[in-house]
Every structure is written in C-alpha cells, then in structure tokens.
Amino acid sequence: MDLGLSDRVFVVTGGSRGLGLASAQALVAEGARVVVVARDQQGLDDAVESLGGGDNAVGLPADLADPATAERVIAAAVARFGRLDGALISVGGPAAGTPMTTDDETWRVSFETVFLGALRVARAAANAMSSEPGELAGVGGSLVFILSSSAREIFPGLTTSNGLRPGLAMMVKDFADELGARGIRVNGLLPGRIATDRMFALDARYGAPDMVRRRNEAAIPLGRYGEPEELGRVAAFLLSPAASYLSGALLNVDGGSSRSI
C-alpha cells in the first residue's frame, strides 16, 4: 500500500531513539521528511544519520518542558521544508514510583513535560496546518500522540504515567472534536511492552530482568515484546492520508495484552 507520504513533512518529538525514532524511520521509508526533536545533540546527530542525512531529516535539540519549544520547533520545520503535514508527539516516560512515594516536584516536572509539553506541540502544529480548498477532510494534517497502555490500565510502579496518560488520551478526543472541521485528524497510540531501552530499564528495577521479561511475555497473547518498528509502522499509517477517515481513535499496540474494550 502506498501511504501517500512522499514529500510530506512531520515533526517527531522524542525522535532520537525508541518509539519516536522508529516512527521517524517508518515515515522516511515512505518518502516523508522529518524534524526530530530531543534534548541530546549526539543522539539527534546519530538519528539524523540513520534517517539518511539532511535531505530527509533535521535534528533540533529542545526540551518540551520549555514553554517556548513548541512554537520554535514548528517554525523550524516550516522554515526548513516549506510546509508541515503533521506531528508525532512522543514524550519519554516519567519517573517510576507509587502514589505514596512520588513527591510533588516529580509530579510538577512530569506534568510540564509529559502533559503540557505534548499539548503545546499539538496546538502549535495545528496552527501551522490546514486543508487545501476542496481537499478531503482529514487529509489536511494529522497529529498522533504516543501514549501508553497506562491510559486504560494501571502499569505497576509508574504512578505518574498512570495519572497523566489518561488525561492525554481524553485530550486526543477533545482535539479531534475541535480540529476535525479544519481537516486535521488526531489519534493516539497506546503501546504495551515494546522492546526499548526504557522497557529494559523498567524490567531491571526488580533485579532479574530476564525473568521479569519471561513473566511479562507469558501474559501477552502474542507471547513476546513488540519491536519498536512494529509501532513505527502503525504511527506512519495513522499520520498518512491512507488513514483519512480515522480520527479520535486510541489504538492499542500491545500484542493483545489489553483486557478492556
């Protein structure tokens, strides 16, 4: 299937590694160009190289907790490539903890980055996009939030994620309502256990990561952790015109782990 992404331009936050980078790679493989955003310059340089260099990708160091980041990133994408067709909004997982052990400062920092940072990027990207006259509604632009299965079900030991992701999931619905008339689709992805450095670090908290992984995999109907590329391909589809009548959706990418409807 041709996803219709050739020469389209996307901002990808959290794009230097993990799920963000996998999504950027899927977009570039379909002919899109990307502006990848992360805090680490070396990570960005490596990511841009893996994406084929400056013709395909630009790396922009920025912190989503900074209120000025969103507008600066979107402006940079338009200045570099002359257009913006969407954004993949991925934010690194907040600190581990429980409701009783997570202090107020951790909540404030997580809220600024995970919640407000994501909303700012979505607003700025939406303001830079619109449908052309006569264009099919939903083809004019696309926003995809990478959230977590914790938007629907508790993820043990990740209380800040459990608290913030459900709110962002509802914002996907809210944005979809408001932006649909402007031809902008908004969707969310709810990854389960994906084989990223972040997931391996979470497994290692208990001191026997191999045993933890085997136990977790036994509870996944497909019997394994997902690969980042598997989520990246779904993200590219959601961002593409091929998904032109899909908006306000929250899609599990979890190997069948979710037990909720």
pLDDT digits (tens, 9 = 90+) for 70-80: 999 999 999 99
pLDDT of amino acid 260: 81
For residues 104-135, b (16+ Cβ closer than 10 Å) or e, as one string? eebbeebbbbbbbbbbbbbbbbbebbebeeee
Nearest to 158 by CA among 148, 168, 173: 148
Asked if 244 contacts 138 with a C-beta cutoff of 8 angstroms, the reply is: yes
Residue 92 or residue 90, greater confidence? 90
Instruction: Give yes or no for residue 198 having a pLDDT over 80.
Output: yes
Which of 36, 15, 46 lies closest to 228, judged by CA?
15
On the question of pLDDT at 138 being above 70, the answer is no
* pLDDT tens figures, 151-191: 998 888 899 999 999 999 999 999 999 999 999 999 999 99
Tell the residue number behind the tokens 């800040």, with chain if given: 160
What is the domain partition of the chain in residue ranges?
Answer: 9-253
The per-residue pLDDT for 130 is 65
Asked if pLDDT for residue 137 goes beyond 60, the answer is no
pLDDT band at 53 (very low <50, low <70, confident <90, very high): very high
| pLDDT of the residue at 257 | 93
Q: Pick from 5, 18, 22, 13: which is nearest to 59 by CA?
A: 13
**pTM of the entire structure?**
0.93
Taking 90 as the threshold, does the pLDDT of residue 261 lie above it?
A: no
Task: Average the pLDDT over 37-55 and give the result.
Answer: 95
Categorize the per-residue pLDDT at 136 as very low, low, confident or very high, splitting at 50, 70 and 90. Answer: very low
> Which residues are 75's β-sheet partners?
none
Q: What digits encode the pLDDT tens for the residues 93-115?
A: 778 899 999 999 999 999 999 99
CATH topology classification for 9-253? Rossmann fold (3.40.50)
Q: Output the pLDDT for position 30.
A: 97
Mean pLDDT to the nearest integer, 130-155: 74
In the chain, the percentage of residues whose pLDDT exceeds 70 is: 96
So what's the pLDDT on residue 134?
38
pLDDT tens track for 205-243: 878 888 999 999 999 999 999 999 999 999 999 999 999
Give the residue-averaged pLDDT of 15-24.
Answer: 96
By the 10 Å C-beta count (0-12 exposed, 13-18 middle, 19+ buried), 211 is classed as: exposed
113 contacts 65 by C-beta, under 8 angstroms: yes
Give the model's pLDDT for residue 133: 39
